Amino acid sequence: MSDAFDNLLRASLITAHDESNAFDAVVPPIVQTSLFTFSDYDEMVATYRGEKQRPVYSRGLNPTVRVFEDMLARLEGADDALAFASGMAAISSTVLSFVEPGDRIVAVRHLYPDAFRFFETVLKRMRVEVIYVDGRDEEAVAKALPGAKLLYLESPTSWVMDAHDVGALAALAKQHSVLSVIDNSWATPVFQRPLTLGVDLVLHSASKYLGGHSDVVAGVVAGPKALIERIRTETLPYLGGKLSPFDAWLLVRGLRTLPIRMKAHEASALEIAHRLQALDIVEKVCHPALNNALPPGLHGTSGLFSFIFKDQINIRSFCDHLTLFKLGVSWGGHESLIVPGDVVANQKAPPSFAAAFGVDPLSVRLHVGLEGTEALWSDVQAAIAAARTK
Ligand SMILES: Cc1ncc(COP(=O)(O)O)c(C=O)c1O
């Protein structure tokens, strides 16, 4: 991230709402209401006719949610954004806005497991076919694209953290008139701004870094006016997964410190990844900044990565001896977390993500939080010492 963008980003996050509408408060109000009344009959008629834009009902437009949507749109360099009650609501509403029976989606392998399950259950029932390709293999992507409706990207991917050349993949999609969508939850706009790389729509699980404090489940999609309008009018009102005002307020609070938090996650995670890679008990560290250069367009790395042990450790004992890293799903908050690969590989949630893409049972995924690098490294070292079998 350039210094100029960093300064612009921070300033826009701090001065993100119109204080004149909120008693000059530096924090926007939580407009915790389901509905908004009209001053008279004519105002109601004008609003229903679309001649006047104003809130009617919070499943459509709510001022607090709008503050978050505006902030996120600005961060991603988008015309507009729409916020949802979860990342999965953002994914499902977005994808369902653009596909119909008989269509084909090209998706990258190792995408977020519940996105994979959504594709393999709901979309399959709708007779939408999804084929999975290695996003690092641009030839394979180019071969799969002709005739497809949508290219679904995630970079870096879940679990194995494969980072792709997002701009090159977006250009391929454009060549074949295929709409491109990316899940940018891992990098956030601090490290990757996919719309500036040519992707059509960018979405997030805002439950992760955008919120940043593990106290909200939310999602958002951002992009050009016409595409966002289609989601706003064709799927969101009927699937109904709109973000609540209080959760939007939590997200606005979280976004103010996003650039600062991301740099802290990056520094700690990178240091721990390097130290793990130097250990004789570690087979491989899956972190986009190790082993290869970052692809163009990815300007930094977050706190989530995985690594694979050699067969010289009791993974159960390793997990149970950690004190700062807690066993838990999700990521992006202040706290450090661990998920063991063998648990994921044996998860009873068909269709199996592990069967489709493979999850090494000797792998673990770490989310490196904000506790401090040395404290976290001591935690890892002590747990390895206690769990070593050879
Ligand atoms: C990469 C990624 N995308 C999307 C999601 C789904 O988001 P949510 O849990 O907010 O529905 C997650 C959740 O873990 C995720 O890791």
Distance 220 CA to ligand 1 centre (A): 11
Q: Which residues neighbour 381 within 8 Å (Cβ) at sequence distance 6 or greater?
A: none
Q: Identify whether residues 188 and 296 lie together within a single domain.
A: no
Looking at 110-114, 131-135, 186-190, 288-292, which range is the least confident one? 288-292
Q: Both 251 and 271 in a single domain?
A: no
Displacement of CA 43 from its chain's centroid (Å): 39
What residues pair up with 220 in beta bridges, in sequence order?
A: 83, 204
Could you tell me if 239 and 332 lie in one domain? Answer: no
Helices marked H in the chain — which ranges? 3-14, 41-48, 63-76, 87-98, 113-118, 124-125, 138-144, 166-175, 188-191, 225-234, 236-239, 245-256, 258-277, 315-321, 341-345, 353-357, 373-387
Higher pLDDT pick, 84 / 20:
84
Segment 141-175, tens digit of pLDDT:
999 999 999 999 999 999 999 999 999 999 999 99
- Whether residues 271 and 168 share a domain: the answer is no
State yes or no: pLDDT of 361 exceeds 70: yes
pLDDT band for position 350 (cuts 50, 70, 90):
confident
Q: What is the pLDDT of residues 86-126, one digit of tens each?
A: 999 999 999 999 999 999 999 999 999 999 999 999 999 99
> Residue 56 sits in a domain of what CATH number?
3.40.640.10
Residue at a domain's end among 256, 287, 322: 256
Cα-Cα-Cα-Cα dihedral sign, residues 267, 212, 258, 89: positive
What average pLDDT does this structure show over 297-321? 97
Q: Are residues 171 and 232 in the same domain?
A: yes
104 is catalytic: no
pLDDT at 8 over 70: no
Co-location of 184 and 282 in the same domain: no
- Are residues 180 and 71 part of one domain? yes
> Which pair of tokens denotes residue 289?
């900044």
59 is catalytic: yes
Separation CA 185–CA 106 (nearest Å): 19
pLDDT at 298: 97
Tokens of 164: 């792709």
Q: Do both 242 and 278 map to the same domain?
A: no
- Calculate mean pLDDT across residues 293-311: 97
How many other CB atoms are found less than 10 A from the CB of residue 19?
12
Question: CATH number, domain at 365?
Answer: 3.90.1150.10
Q: Calculate mean pLDDT across residues 319-331.
A: 97
Tell whether the torsion through CA atoms of 103, 106, 111 and 116 is positive or negative. Answer: positive
Among 7-16, 137-146, 321-330, which is the least confidently predicted range?
Answer: 7-16
Pocket test for ligand 1, best of 84, 86, 112, 217 (most atoms within 8 A of CB): 112
What residue numbers bound the domain in which 99 lies?
Answer: 3-256
The two structure tokens encoding residue 243? 């973000």
Domain co-membership, 251 together with 330: no
pLDDT at residue number 21: 66
The residue whose CA is least distant from atom 6 of ligand 1 is 87
Q: Which of 226, 256, 286 is the last residue of a domain?
A: 256
Using the predicted structure, report yes or no on whether residue 14 has a pLDDT greater than 80.
no
pLDDT grade for 22, boundaries at 50, 70 and 90: confident
Regarding whether 273 and 252 lie in a shared domain, the answer is no
Q: Are residues 218 and 354 in the same domain?
A: no
> Which residue out of 108, 110, 205, 305 has the highest number of ligand 1 atoms within 8 Å of its CB and is therefore the one to mutate?
205
Residue 215 has pLDDT above 70, yes or no: yes
DSSP label at 283?
E
- Indicate whether 243 and 272 sit together in one domain: no
% residues pLDDT > 90 (the chain): 89
Q: What is the pLDDT of residue 277?
A: 98
Residue 276 to residues 69, 144, 265, 325, 371: CA-CA distances in angstroms? 39, 37, 16, 15, 18
Looking at residues 72-93, what average pLDDT do you find? 97
Q: At residue 2, does pLDDT exceed 70?
A: no
Nearest CA owner, ligand 1 atom 12: 205
Residue 1 has pLDDT above 60, yes or no: no
pLDDT of residue 23: 80
Q: Which of 208, 232, 242, 284 is catalytic?
A: 208
Domain count, the chain: 2
**Confidence band (pLDDT; 50, 70, 90) for 127?**
very high
Q: How confident is the model at residue 24 (pLDDT cuts 50, 70, 90)?
A: confident
* pLDDT of res. 162: 96
Domain boundary residue, one of 193, 223, 256: 256
User: What pLDDT does residue 192 have?
Assistant: 97
* Residue the block writes with tokens 């999804």: 130
**In the predicted model, what is the mean pLDDT of the chain?**
95
Band of residue 390 on the pLDDT scale cut at 50, 70, 90: confident
Q: How far apart are the first and last CA of the chain?
A: 43
CA distances 18 to 64, 109, 214, Å, are 11, 42, 27
